[in-house]
Amino acid sequence: MPDKLNITVMLGGPSAEREVSLRTGAAVANALRSLGHEVTEVDPKPGQWRLPEKTDVVFLALHGTYGEDGAIQKELDALGVPYTGCDAEASRIAFDKVLTKQRCVEAGVPTARFTVYENATAPWPRGWQPPVVLKPVCQGSSVGLQFVERVSDFADSLAEALRYDARVLVEEKITGRETTVGILDGKALPVVEVRPKQGAYDYRNKYTAGATEYFCPAPFDEATIARIQQAALDAFRAIGGRDYARVDVMVRPEGEPMVLEVNTLPGMTETSLLPKAAAAAGLSYPELCQRMVDLALRRKPTGSSLRSAATILSASLMPFLLS
């Protein structure tokens, strides 16, 4: 058994993905308690949360804004307490689909052609042919995702996507097989293939029981698997990732991988895709949670404590964060 730790699981939060985050956080908290840790759950809202003073490490089970966007990471950095997952800057980049795409392009990571729209009356992109995919730039869990098969549907779909963000990524729709790759401690886990029974892998198919089939390890030949995993690792490195993430990758019929996005705080219910991939690699769900904690603890400050960090902070930056 691992040494007993005081772990704060942050879950819920104010984003559109609150309900998913609550499920993730509850599953993580139960797993960590099963390992003998003392676990406190904190549902943070900006300026209204307190971190237990004896916290050894924070497990981030948040999704969406004020979770994956780097905001909570900045506040925890100021406290000097280690937390799971990517740092504030990598989180900020990955949460912004445009920044992620730009980093991928700069690093030579294969990704679909894209443009950005901010105006609901903007015309169809010149020189493009349908189909295209519309994604709010800073949302997760397929929130606001739109698939456009005909030019005549573009205006309505753009207006709908703009309900969720001031900017919308318009992306060439890649035809092929949908996969996702978990990254853990700098290594790619077995590839998961995602097959919705009807339509696309949108919010409904993602969170409706039985609506989607998952295959792990994905049924590709070894060379294609290696290409998919390498593309995912390259994207993870391009955004400056650390510890773990999940990278979504489309695979063209000829086997070419195309990176869609990087999820720095992926779903962590026991049936989520990253735990599925970890299980295929021989890691149980509690073992995966413990590994994530261990990676964060590597960054625990030496010769200092959370209490001393809190004292400095409360005198200057954020007195509301700690009791």
Q: Any idea which residues carry the catalytic annotation? A: 17, 141, 207, 246, 248, 261, 263, 267
Query: Contact, 216 vs 178, CB < 8 A?
Result: no
- Using CA atoms, how far apart are residues 22 and 92, in angstroms rounded to an integer? 22
Token output for 164: 């969720």
Look at residue 82 and give its three-state secondary structure: coil
In 192-235, beta strands by DSSP E: 192-196, 212-215
Nearest residue to 140 (alpha-carbon basis) of 169, 118, 112: 169
- Using CA atoms, how far apart are residues 71 and 87, in angstroms rounded to an integer? 10
Nearest residue to 244 (alpha-carbon basis) of 289, 182, 190: 182
- Using CA atoms, how far apart are residues 161 and 89, in angstroms rounded to an integer? 26
Q: Cα dist. 223→175, 255, 261 in Å?
A: 20, 9, 22
- Using CA atoms, how far apart are residues 293 and 5, in angstroms rounded to an integer? 10
Q: What is the DSSP letter of 253?
A: T
Query: Contact, 80 vs 33, CB < 8 A?
Result: no
- What per-residue string of b and e applies to 298-315 under the rule 16 or more CB within 10 Å gives b? eeeeeeeebeebbeebee
Q: How many CB atoms sit inside 10 A of residue 53's CB? A: 12
Tell me which residue has tokens 């679909």. 112
- Using CA atoms, how far apart are residues 314 and 320, in angstroms rounded to an integer? 7
- Using CA atoms, how far apart are residues 136 and 219, in angstroms rounded to an integer? 31
